[in-house]
Amino acid sequence: MEGLTIRKATPSDTDRIADLLAGDPGEEAIGMAGSREKAIAFGKGMVRLPESPQCWRQTVVGELDGSVIGILVAGADRNDVRLTPRLVYLALQTFGPVGVAKLLPRLRARMRVQPKTPSRAYHIAEIDVDPAYRNKGVGGALLDSAEAEARATGCRLMSLTTSTSNPARRLYERHGFRVAETRTGAAYKRYTGVDGRLLMTKELR
């Protein structure tokens, strides 16, 4: 897209990152959280946690005319979400003690269908584009910037995971990603309406 700038995020981008990442949750996030409102509240809260792998420090943004219209969270040997006191507090704030207890079987179902990230891969954890700018090349530009960063850091493999129902799979395939593993689960489908999750990888030559 003409005029699009890709740059590292700054602390002032936090609210916009939260909006793009969690403001319009998909069926998977809603199914896991139990409602759209809780999915939004927990997702935005996660972005604002200083130690979160989804915070601004891990993010690049696509900016057009001074507005952030897309984000990508990625890196080499990224850490998964860790259980911290702040994360526990956020969960209790969002779901309440009873809600947290109900969340646990959903998390177990999610873990059973989540493929393992390959070691030493440059892993794309999140990519989100403002709905008004989708299918205009923003996602592709963010993927290209991630590939350039992966090559610059010496990575020879890129990876991402996504749900089996995500229409963005076509974008990933156009950029050379291929399905390396598919995991499905009856419990996960019961909670989310989604069959399972995919691991997609791309070798860099």
Predicted pLDDT at 116: 93
Predicted pLDDT at 30: 94
Task: Output the pTM of the full model.
Answer: 0.89
User: C-alpha distances in angstroms, 31 versus 21, 115, 157, 191?
Assistant: 16, 19, 31, 5
Q: Dump pLDDT digits (tens) for 5-23.
A: 999 999 999 999 999 999 9
Nearest alpha-carbon partner for 122 in 158, 151, 86, 156: 158
Q: Dump pLDDT digits (tens) for 68-104.
A: 999 999 987 555 666 678 888 889 999 999 999 988 8
Using CA atoms, how far apart are residues 99 and 174, in angstroms rounded to an integer? 40
Task: Compute the average pLDDT of residues 107-126.
Answer: 93
Using CA atoms, how far apart are residues 37 and 22, in angstroms rounded to an integer? 10
Residue found by looking up tokens 């969960």 in the block: 91
- Asked if 18 and 43 touch (Cβ cutoff 8 Å), the reply is yes
Task: Compute the average pLDDT of residues 165-171.
Answer: 94
Domain coordinates in residue numbering, the chain: 5-203
First to last CA, the chain: 26
Task: Compute the average pLDDT of residues 100-119.
Answer: 92
Q: Over 60: is that where the pLDDT of 144 sits? A: yes
Regarding the domain delimited by 5-203, which CATH topology (the fold level of the hierarchy) does it fall under? Aminopeptidase (3.40.630)
Task: Compute the average pLDDT of residues 47-65.
Answer: 88
